[in-house]
Amino acid sequence: MKRELIKFFASGLYTSYGKGLYPGSRGTIPAWLIAYFLIRGDQAILAVCAVLFTGLSVYLSYEAEKIWGHDSKQIVMDEWAGMMVTLILVPYSPVYYGIAFVIFRLADAVKIWPANIAENLPGGWGVTADDIVAGVQSCLLMHLGLYIVRNYV
């Protein structure tokens, strides 16, 4: 039973399962939907979810690696944590949230320094840390873009 629960949650409610490319993007969609339709821009709840999903990701990733191997594509709870970090203080809007999703997925795929170093941490920390760094980078880029649009466009 524990093994099945780990697989269910680590895989983002099984969203990373299936054929085709981009299990990380598929696995991020539920987090985006939770943020947009349930959290609805409430920054306190978003912050709590970012912390909660980060802690869950470290634990679930550690346990899921015993099932699927090191940093398996099946593990996407780390994407949930990174997505929540990305959305911190982003204005609640389908356009802004959509742009944040795309920026986060690109940052997570490219792994710009220091995300590429963070993924070398041991166990669940490494699986999760690069997504948290990508989330911070995406959040900063999102806010830089918003600043430029508001002040210079």
Share of the chain above pLDDT 70, in %: 99
The answer to whether residue 92 sits within a structural domain is: yes
Classify the phi-psi angles of 112: left when phi > 0, otherwise alpha if psi is within -120 to 50, otherwise beta: beta
In this model, does residue 69 exceed pLDDT 90? no
Instruction: Identify the domain containing residue 72 by its residue range.
Output: 23-152
Quick check: is 8 in a domain?
Answer: no
In this structure, is residue 65 part of a structural domain? yes
What would the two tokens of residue 92 be? 């609640």
Domain count across the chain: 1
Q: Is residue 50 part of a domain?
A: yes
8 A C-beta contact, residue 88 and residue 68: no
State pLDDT tens for residues 72-126: 788 889 999 999 999 999 999 999 999 999 999 999 898 899 988 888 888 889 8
User: Which residue did the predictor score with more confidence, 11 or 34?
Assistant: 34
Decide if 3 is inside a domain: no
pLDDT at residue 68 is higher than 80: yes
- In a domain, residue 4? The reply is no
Q: What is the mean pLDDT of residues 28-40?
A: 95
CB 75 within 8 A of CB 127: yes
Inside any domain, residue 47: yes
Report whether 35 contacts 87 (CB < 8 A): yes
How confident is the prediction for the chain on average, in pLDDT?
91
Span of 20-29, 46-55, 72-81, 98-107 with lowest mean pLDDT: 20-29
Tell me if 119 is assigned to some domain: yes
